[in-house]
Structure formats: structure tokens, C-alpha cells
Amino acid sequence: MGEPDLVSEPDQVEAAESIEDALAATERGLEEALRGANIAVRELKRALGAARTGHVRDLRKALATAQATAGRLAVDTGALQSEFTFDERAYLSSGGYVKELLAEAEARGLSIVEGDDDRLLCYPSLLRVLPNDAAMEIDKVRDRRLRPSVLVSVLAQAQERGVRFKAEQFLDSLRAAYELRVAADGKRADTVVRLVDLWTVLTMMPGQRTQYSRQEFARDLYLLDQSGVTSTERSPRTLRWSASTGTKGSGVLTTVARNGQEQRYWGVSFSSEDTEPE
């Protein structure tokens, strides 16, 4: 049996300004520790084989090597644990994480923009930082993979997969809200109505606004727009988008397109083919 493999000292986990740096340093230290763990396992297997065959001299050597390696491993893992002091909750709360995530996305050619609430927009996903849970919320699903390089990869894959969107179902709901609003206001059946007012109708029940935010509504408007669907079997009336001068004032809904460009929506009407909206 040759000389036992040397167990190298794991890299020290130095204080890092970013969570990516902190995790990368810890990753390097853990890779070194795992090499030591593999040596310990290997020596224990040798000791087991020697015990089964009666090679007493080899048994003693393997046990001694395994003990020394395991002792070193315990010290190294203890150091890794004590040196990883990154406060992820404070970092998430400070806004530093969002800046780091945006920088990582830009470097990878992925567009993430900050919305007009606490969400981030990355077509087709909506994200929100959850500091108290040390997690990200992606389309209402908690994800605890906080490493920016990993999260950007996840978002890029979601973008490549695209999104399943029931355009006709959404259009029927939008038309129903439109008809309720037009009737309540006593307006013409084909008048232009602000989309933000339709969102108010769609979320009038208690708690619905927290379940279906303006950002989600704006994202769905973009998906409807991209689908090209303007009428359904339930109603032959045609959806007409209206920008007017409203895109410069209140009530504008903003989302991000797949190419990263800002997309703005203001109003719609539902008209017969032979009529023009008011």
C-alpha cells in the first residue's frame, strides 16, 4: 500500500460583498472537503476488505489513515460552517440582491426589469424577493435557489419554454369585465375603457387583488396581444386596443416583452366589425 493521499486545506471562505462570491467560496471549500471525505471512505473500504480476508497489517494501516482523514475532515467542515456568515435575509432586504441579480442577468443577456410594485419582470415570469423566507417567489411559487447565476439560468430556461396561456378564456373574462363597466357607467357599448378599470372589476372580491396583481394583469395583456386573438366563439365582438394619450398619464399598465422592451397598455373596446370605438 502506498502513501496515503494528502488532504489539502479547504479554501477559506472570505467575507464577500455578494451572495454569488460567498457561495462560490464556500463551494470551493466544500469540494476540497469532499475530496477528504472520499479518501476516508476509500480507506474504510480497504479496512473492511482487509478484515474480511485477514490482512491484519493492511487493516491497521487503513484504519489509521481513515481516522486521520476523518479527523481532518471534521476540522475542515467545522471551519466551513463557522466561516459562512453571510446574512441572506439582511442582503435580500437591503436591495443588494436585486442589484446583483440584475447585473448577472445583464451579463448573461437576459432582461429583468423592476416593476412599479415590488416585483421584477422577466418574460414570462414575475418575481418577488421574500427576505423573511430567504427565498424568491417566481410566478407565486417559492424558490430557495438564491444563487444569482443559478436563478438567471432558471429564468432563461423558462423563457425558452414559453408559457401556456389560454387566450380565449382570458379574452372572455376581459370582455365580461368590460361589459359590466360600460353598463355601470352608462356608456356606449363600444366605448374605450381604461384597462386599469377592468382590472378593478376583475378583482372586486375581497382578497383578489393580492391574488391577481396589476403586474400579472399587464403580463396577461401582453400574452393576449401576442396571441393575436381578438374574438371568441362566445362573442363575435372584436377587441380593439387603444393607446390614445393615456400612455402618458395615469392608468398605464406596463410589462416587459420577450425582447426586454417595455410594453404599455391603456385601454380597450369591444366593437362589431361595422362600428368604430368612441
In sequence order, what are the residues at sequence separation of 6 or more whose Cβ sits closer than 8 angstroms to the Cβ of residue 168?
229, 232, 233
Which pLDDT does position 249 carry in this prediction? 59
Query: If you average pLDDT over every residue of the chain, what do you get?
Result: 88
For 20, the enclosing helix (H) or strand (E) is helix 19-53
Q: Where along the chain do its domains lie?
A: 19-86, 89-161, 167-271
% the chain with pLDDT above 90: 71
Cell of 164: 401556456
Q: How far apart are CA 89 and CA 238, in angstroms?
A: 49
Q: What is the pLDDT averaged over residues 11-33?
A: 81
Torsion on CA atoms 85, 91, 96, 97, rounded to nearest 10: 90
Which pLDDT does position 199 carry in this prediction? 95
**228 burial level (CB within 10 Å; 0-12, 13-18, 19+):** exposed
Q: How far apart are CA 276 and CA 278, in angstroms?
A: 7
Give me the half-sphere count of Cα atoms (radius 13 Å) on the Cβ side of residue 202. Answer: 24
Q: What is the pLDDT averaged over residues 167-196?
A: 93
Instruction: Report pLDDT digits (tens) over 149-169.
Output: 999 999 999 998 878 899 999
Instruction: Report pLDDT digits (tens) over 81-126.
Output: 999 999 999 999 999 999 999 999 999 999 999 887 788 999 999 9
- 172, 235 Cβ separation under 8 angstroms: yes
258 pLDDT above the threshold of 80: yes
Instruction: Report pLDDT digits (tens) over 207-251.
Output: 788 889 899 999 999 999 999 999 998 877 899 999 855 445 578
Which pLDDT does position 243 carry in this prediction? 80
181 pLDDT above the threshold of 50: yes
Q: What is the DSSP string of 31-93?
A: HHHHHHHHHHHHHHHHHHHHHHHT-HHHHHHHHHHHHHHHHHHHHHHHHHHHH----HHHHHH
Pairing of strands 267-271, 135-138: unpaired
CA 172 remoteness from chain centre: 29
Q: Is the peptide bond prior to 277 cis by the omega test (within 30 degrees of 0)?
A: no
Nearest-CA neighbor of 32 among 5, 1, 66?
A: 5
Q: How far apart are CA 211 and CA 264, in angstroms?
A: 22
Which pLDDT does position 50 carry in this prediction? 97
253 pLDDT above the threshold of 80: yes
Nearest-CA neighbor of 219 among 145, 110, 108, 123?
A: 123
In sequence order, what are the residues at sequence separation of 6 or more whose Cβ sits closer than 8 angstroms to the Cβ of residue 174?
198, 202, 224, 239, 268
2 pLDDT above the threshold of 80: no
Given the C-alpha cell 378564456, which residue does it identify? 169
Three-state SS at 169: helix
% the chain with pLDDT above 70: 90
Nearest-CA neighbor of 216 among 179, 178, 171, 254?
A: 254
Cell of 273: 366589425
